[in-house]
Amino acid sequence: MAALDSLRGFGILLVVLGHTSWSAGLVSWIFSFHMPLFFIISGMLFHERQFLDSFKRKAIRLLVP
């Protein structure tokens, strides 16, 4: 998981650099892949069972009272 955390940190730095850079070429290069990078990382960390358990707990907590 340390590799994914490092990759996520690198992606965050690229987002900051993309939003603060004056170079149009650099901005378009960064914006071409930074969001897909986050979606790929999220997909690698997604666990369906954990999502369903969390959804059930939240639904019960919010809908039953």
Spatial neighbors of 45 by CB under 8 A, at least 6 apart, are 4
pLDDT confidence of 37, banded at 50, 70, 90? confident
* Tokens (6 digits) for 44: 């690698």
Taking only the tens place, the pLDDT of each residue in 40-54 is 888 787 777 777 888
pTM, rounded to two decimals: 0.60
Spatial neighbors of 34 by CB under 8 A, at least 6 apart, are 11, 14, 15, 18
Please give the distance of CA 64 from its chain centroid, rounded to a whole number: 31
